[in-house]
Amino acid sequence: MPTADYQASDQIKGLSFAVLGVLILTPDTLLMRMVGADAWTILFWRGLFVTIGYVALLAIRYGRRFPGAILGIGSHGVLVCALFALNTILFVVAVASTTVANTLVIMSAAPLFAAVIGRVALGERPPLRTWFAILLAMAGILVIVGDGLSAGTWIGDLVALAAAVALGAHFVLVRAARPVDMMPAVGLSGLLVAAVAVIAADSLVLSPVQFGWMALLGLLILPVSFGLLTAAPIYLSAAEVGLVVLLETVLGPLWVWLVIGERPSDFALLGGAIVIAALVMNFALKRRRLAPNPLSEMSP
């Protein structure tokens, strides 16, 4: 099989992992709203359940090789663990400090930071279409941030932006570490999150219903979704994985709006529309580039 076919196959695989991971992730903010506890209580249970969920997934995947997979993450894994823990903490604090729509749209800056960090650290040069899509997405973010300044949610908006930096760096580190599996590092980050949260939380008590929602989120949704998103940068550039994550920008607030009535502002809806347009444009152009050339298939 020609090298170009291998590249196309890998990119389609990475794109499939990323899209499926994001679709599974979209109820994340809805479930946090339904739990209704303070940010640090949510972080403790989220971190603890995520680690348990990852341990179960990795035990199934690796069997007796499970301890070796954990030890094999190396220094890159330690950084991935720390960055993902930081991203988790900042994300949950942002959701508690501003609207879901603002948080998710601002998190869409992750591809920009992933592209810049990947360019500096890995020497990767995202294609022009990716840069254009990132700039268009940033225009959508500016619409949201401007609205946040007038609504008094700018502190939460800045926390969300910091979370986007951490997430972009996370994607780059996972790509730099390939082919080493960084899923164990992401799983261990839950323990770090729980350790920080147990110090800061006033109470860790949840009602049975709250506990059930957190268990669903931490044991199933987060391990599966982030497991897929952690595998995606092995096959796809960090900037493009970040662009796929923008799907949550639109779908996450819609879940919250439909189920509990937290309607995004008109500016959030406008910003989200701009972001999704950037995403669709980027991958429509990418699909055209990856499409087989009939003339090349006819050549000997």
pLDDT per residue over 221-238, tens digit each?
988 887 888 778 777 776
Name the average pLDDT for the chain. Answer: 79
Taking phi over 0 as left and psi of -120 to 50 as alpha, with beta for the rest, 292 belongs to beta
Structural domain boundaries enclosing 43: 13-291
Q: Kindly state whether residue 7 falls inside one of the protein's structural domains.
A: no
Residue 45 has pLDDT above 90, yes or no: yes
Domain count, the chain: 1
Q: Kindly state whether residue 4 falls inside one of the protein's structural domains.
A: no
Q: Which residue has the higher pLDDT, 90 or 33?
A: 90
pLDDT of residue 5: 54
CA angle 243, 167, 87 (to 5 degrees): 140
What span, in angstroms and rounded, lies between the C-alpha atoms of 239 and 270? 23
Q: Kindly state whether residue 2 falls inside one of the protein's structural domains.
A: no
Q: Which of 155, 171, 157 is nearest to 110 (CA)?
A: 171
What does the pLDDT average to over 29-52? 89
pLDDT of residue 299: 43
Which amino acid belongs to residue 243? L
Calculate the CA dihedral of residues 83, 216, 20, 95 and round it to 10 degrees: -50
Alpha carbon 109 to its chain's center: 11
Q: Kindly state whether residue 1 falls inside one of the protein's structural domains.
A: no
What span, in angstroms and rounded, lies between the C-alpha atoms of 150 and 146? 7
What does the pLDDT average to over 14-35? 86
pLDDT of residue 295: 46
Q: Kindly state whether residue 299 falls inside one of the protein's structural domains.
A: no
Q: Which residue has the higher pLDDT, 100 or 215?
A: 215
pLDDT of residue 142: 75
Q: Which residue has the higher pLDDT, 93 or 267?
A: 93
Q: Kindly state whether residue 47 falls inside one of the protein's structural domains.
A: yes
pTM for this model (two decimals) = 0.73
Q: Kindly state whether residue 283 falls inside one of the protein's structural domains.
A: yes
pLDDT of residue 251: 79
Q: Kindly state whether residue 59 falls inside one of the protein's structural domains.
A: yes
